[in-house]
Amino acid sequence: MKKTCTLLVLSSGLLMPSAWAQAPQPEPTTDMPMTPSIAPVAPPIDDTAQRPFFLTLSEAITVAETNNHDIKLALERIKDARLQVTETGAQGLPQITATAGYGRQDPVLSQQSTDTSGAGGAGLGNNPQFAAFLGTASVNTFNSSITMNQMLFAGFRIIDGIRLGQINVDLQQQALRQTRQNVAFQVANAYFNALRAYEVVASDKQALLQAREQVRLAEVRLRAGTGIKLDLLQAQSQEIQVQQRLSLDLSAYEKAKMSLNQVIGRETLHPLELNPHATVANYAVDAKAGLLTALENRADLRQFRLQREMAELNATIQGRAVWPTISAQVRYNLQDSAVVDGNNRSVQNMNYGLNMNWPIFDGFAAQAKSQRAQQQALQAQISEDQLQQRVILDIEQALLDIREALEREQMARAGVELANESLRVARISYREGAGIMLNVINSQLSVQQADTSLITARFDLNTRKARLYQALGLDLHDFLR
């Protein structure tokens, strides 16, 4: 009788932690009907000052946009495109050129000449200008000129060139926008993969605690004489398996953080603390409305439209290559010559000119260039139509993926409830002596598998919603929670 009372006390005391673990956890509520979550909805208290390595998803995307080399290259291309606009516009402004030159003439051999002019020393032999002409005197010469050229008419090629450059700037800006959207999706995908690995590790730790508790319970029952050695061995084997799985999942978590650091442009071993409440907001859209949104916002579609517009404008420019060009020129020239020990001679000129260049026949080169540009415009239109078909497919697939992930999440949540109930029944049966340890172990394994399936479904749903926003051409920053 005493032994029986002791066993009852031990059983009730030992089963209290198990009963606490078996108690069904209240299902958390969420403000997003399409995104049920097992994490609390209320965000944690902002203590980032005490958490220097805490990194939200929005901050991770911002860091990636700062460090990504493709984004840096796209920014430099925008600067280059703007400089091309300035360079093209400069052709229509006055071109002013100033030149200056200085020269000196020194005689190589000085000879004494006899004055035979009969002018009493005033003949040609003593004339400084004549001596300079003969090369027997030193002469300083200074030339300077200022020239201004102004293009009056260039067949509208300068104006069209400026428009072409501005379209190129818009094209490079859309390329930058597309690059940023791709980087944001890559960061979100890596971030949610790391979060999934983190929650799997937390689930493994919880399973390890339960396995250790089961080992302790088996040891107590074995010492009390109500258990068998096989139950203890099975519980210990289960504990070892959970530890091995935890080790693998910890390694996967560290690798996921390394991948995230690499995507955002940091060192792979940079410490990280993730936000477990990160999620992507819902966006109610059907395939038809999504197509209209994508046609308006997709950066790659806009690039094809701009390429087509550039090709059409280039065809116009090439077709005007046979038009005449008219330019005006004004030139001021100053020439000053000074003979050493002689007189000076200064000449100033002002020249005006009007030039016209008309390529009457160029071997049909301009026509061929114009036709090539028109073919490029046609190719851009075909590529745009092809991309529109791919956009439709992307949107429909993204919506189907979200629907599948949502259904899988709901089924996984139901699976978690069933697995927990099965574990509760198995523990009660084992406690009452009507069940065996193997049933408890199998139920614990089912609970862990169900938890892992739910975690995977939750983060797959977030990743696929991010993929939908990318397919719609929307900025992911606006839909992060």
Segment 36-73, tens digit of pLDDT:
333 444 444 555 455 778 999 999 999 999 999 999 99
Neighbouring-strand partners of residue 141: 103, 337
Helix (H) or strand (E) holding 21: helix 2-22
Give the Cα separation of 96 and 176 in Å (integer). Answer: 38
Bridge partners for 351 per DSSP: 331
Q: What is the pLDDT of residues 390-441, one digit of tens each?
A: 998 999 999 999 999 999 999 999 999 999 998 889 888 877 777 788 888 8
For position 405, what pLDDT does the model report?
Answer: 93
Do you know the residue count of the chain?
Answer: 481
Residue with tokens 């796209």: 74
pLDDT for 427 equals 85
Please report which confidence band the pLDDT of residue 13 belongs to, taking 50, 70 and 90 as the band edges: very low
CB-based contact 47:294 (threshold 8 Å): no
The structure's pTM equals: 0.74
Band of pLDDT at residue 222, cut at 50, 70 and 90: confident
The average confidence (pLDDT) of the chain is: 82
Residue 133: per-residue pLDDT: 57
pLDDT for 380 beyond 60:
yes
Domain ranges of the chain: 2-67+157-320+363-479, 94-153+325-357
Tokens of 381: 């239109």
In CATH, the number for domain 2-67+157-320+363-479 is: 1.20.1600.10
| C-alpha to C-alpha distance for 179 and 282, rounded to whole angstroms | 23
Alpha-carbon distance of 224 to 260, in angstroms, equals 52
pLDDT score for 135: 58
pLDDT band at 182 (very low <50, low <70, confident <90, very high): very high
Binning pLDDT at 50, 70 and 90, where does residue 118 land?
A: very low
What is the dotted CATH code of the domain comprising 94-153+325-357? 2.20.200
Per-residue confidence (pLDDT) for residue 263, from 0 to 100: 93
Distance CA 391, CA 404 (A): 20
Helix 365-432 vs helix 287-297: crossing angle, to nearest 10: 130
State how beta strands 139-153 and 273-274 pair.
unpaired
Coil, strand or helix at 455: helix
Place of tokens 């090539």: 372
pLDDT at 371 over 70: yes
SS3 279: coil
Band of pLDDT at residue 25, cut at 50, 70 and 90: very low
Q: Is the pLDDT of residue 110 over 80?
A: no
Complete DSSP assignment for 287-335:
HHHHHHHHHHH-HHHHHHHHHHHHHHHHHHHHHGGGS-EEEEEEEEEEE
Identify the H or E element spanning 148.
Answer: strand 139-153
